[in-house]
Chain A
């Protein structure tokens, strides 16, 4: 049981947090701007390197430097939207989707150009885990990631349900034409979508890089499970994307626990596949996703 908590549950929740934070942006952009944003993973990478750059100058806990990464991703996202996505908005969305593929490559190449293609670590050495009640061993970073994601989920919920901007965002996601004729400021909604998506991407990137190491393919490698999480939760439903992220993370890690007998239930080599089977199964029985998102 202790082994389950230490080596399966906490890591699963951490991976889930990273997926959840990334998936929120993907889901909101999908819901409000109506296209699959393939550059989201690389936006995460960009944020990570922004933090890394700040860490080279300021020797404090990298978590305190996350705002630097957030500023970098927000500015980049708004700039890219203005220069590359907005001119294509009147065309069929496939143009924007392909354009976002290009932007993904641009982000990755910029990171390679500026920071190099090597793996970089935030700090050398292994930190001893936190030991609770003499038995539960949990890495401090994992605890920070899980708690931070929980707080963000609560704040996001209040933002979307209590503030005027948040409510406008939900309205545009649910029915863009109706929102437009009711006089909602769509440009403002679009701006806030990017700001929130990009800020959360920077946080997700920071946790992913702290958990392992920073490299230019960091975000790209996470893109597929994050899309799975967004679709699982329901397109355009940020809370759904959060839940989807945790579900995908839990499904991946827990499928290899030895539930029956002494052997792993499913060989860890196949854990990515498990997450996708969950997503496909859910889509067959409930195509709108967990939280009644848009039908694609």
Chain B
């Protein structure tokens, strides 16, 4: 009897993921639901779900229902490969939206998604390594590369009057990418890095690293790491030890968890860079209104715009291709995202489908930008400067 119950339970679990009807069209959504950026994820799942819901409310995908199939990378390379294998080989999705961390995105792309010939579009993977990926033109992202964020961050730090800083970055695709670009750009522009080191994630104490970083009287500490892991611990331990009072972070550190952890007072003088949307973008307002109408709040959270846009673009690409043929996805994605064509914005699914039915070309301009891919599947973009405001963050400046 016990065996039977176990079997039924296991079958129910397996079945829950793949209970699909004939008219369903699946889209793979790969996210780092657990792991170092877990705190970012809930609003992003809402963003992806919103795109799918709008599609289904406005006539559906390929005449049927669109279904988002989630995979959790657990925030690790191995977990990303496992989850992506499942999406492309078992769920047979034609296109994958995700994932969010650079490391998991690249691992999933190289080991599972590219070999399967599936197109992939990441909303937030910022590592420069994505640009040179041997991807047969299959991997896209709608967030600017760290080469870009690193250079802008260097300008921002100098503009803030800081010409001597210490730098620490996490030893993964994200940290190394942005850290090295920052260092090169900052030193080329006349700044001095008093000490720099690469640190490992998942340690409990970074005090020995901090002790060596504090030498040489730096004016601030530049931390390129995730708030949910090493980044948050480094800031906290630096303050506890009285080593640094001013911090400069990137999008990985700009997490409400950091404020919860060390308190807003301790971060008064610190600032953060993060990819953002152009000012006065009507598409962004449309999305935020729809998002808050559906979920009550959270439209202004980090990467909601990018995640929604990436999901909506992936859905448009399937509709454009007219089938779930994997080979057609990458070209279809370029077709719907890039000029020329009739402009389509967030939520305008019925309009897009009607235009495609008439045989017209469309050009999606999203909440996060206009998604014009270059040959490597990269986009240019906007970087915002953020400061702490109460228990959230406030954008004070946009650099293009």
Q: How far is the CA of A56 from the CA of B33 in the complex (A)?
A: 24
Query: Do the beta carbons of A124 and B263 come within 8 Å of each other?
Result: yes
Query: Do the beta carbons of B199 and A268 come within 8 Å of each other?
Result: yes
| Interface residues in chain A, defined as those with a beta carbon under 8 Å from any beta carbon in chain B | 3, 6-8, 11-12, 14-15, 18, 112, 116-119, 121, 124-129, 137, 139, 208, 211-213, 215-217, 221-222, 253, 256-258, 262-264, 267-269, 271-272
Q: Indicate if B17 sits at the interface (CB-CB under 8 A).
A: no
Which residues of A sit under 8 angstroms from B228, Cβ to Cβ?
Answer: 118-119, 215
Query: Do the beta carbons of A117 and B236 come within 8 Å of each other?
Result: no
- Contacts A256-B212, A272-B200 aside, 6 further interface pairs with beta carbons under 8 A come to A7-B210, A126-B263, A128-B240, A211-B204, A213-B257, A217-B202
Per-position binary interface string of chain B over residues 84-100, scored 1 when its CB falls under 8 Å from any chain A CB and 0 otherwise: 00000000000000000
Query: Do the beta carbons of B241 and A6 come within 8 Å of each other?
Result: yes
Closest residue on chain A to residue B243 by CB atoms: A7
- Interface-located stretch among B34-42, B60-68, B126-134, B321-329: B34-42
Which residues of A sit under 8 angstroms from B205, Cβ to Cβ?
Answer: 11-12, 14-15, 211, 253
**Given known A-B contacts A125-B262, A269-B199, A8 and B211 have beta carbons under 8 A apart:** yes
Q: How many residues of B contact A (CB 8 A)?
A: 38
Nearest CB in chain B: distance from A109 CB, A: 10
Which residues of A sit under 8 angstroms from B209, Cβ to Cβ?
Answer: 256, 268
Query: Do the beta carbons of B211 and A3 come within 8 Å of each other?
Result: yes
**Given known A-B contacts A213-B232, A272-B200, A7 and B34 have beta carbons under 8 A apart:** no
Q: Indicate if B260 sits at the interface (CB-CB under 8 A).
A: yes
Query: Do the beta carbons of A264 and B212 come within 8 Å of each other?
Result: yes
Which residues of B sit under 8 angstroms from A118, Cβ to Cβ?
Answer: 38-39, 228, 257
Q: How far is the CA of A257 from the CA of B205 in the complex (A)?
A: 14
Closest residue on chain A to residue B35 by CB atoms: A217
Could you pull out 29 A-B pairs where Cβ atoms are within 8 angstroms? A6-B241, A7-B208, A8-B207, A116-B38, A117-B38, A117-B41, A118-B228, A119-B228, A119-B257, A121-B260, A125-B262, A125-B263, A125-B265, A128-B240, A129-B240, A129-B242, A137-B241, A212-B204, A213-B232, A217-B34, A217-B35, A222-B204, A253-B205, A263-B212, A267-B197, A268-B199, A269-B197, A271-B208, A272-B200
Closest residue on chain A to residue B34 by CB atoms: A117
Query: Do the beta carbons of A221 and B39 come within 8 Å of each other?
Result: no
Q: How far is the CA of A212 from the CA of B215 in the complex (A)?
A: 24
Q: Which 10 A-B pairs have the closest CB atoms?
A: A125-B263, A7-B211, A117-B38, A117-B34, A256-B208, A11-B205, A11-B207, A268-B209, A126-B239, A7-B207
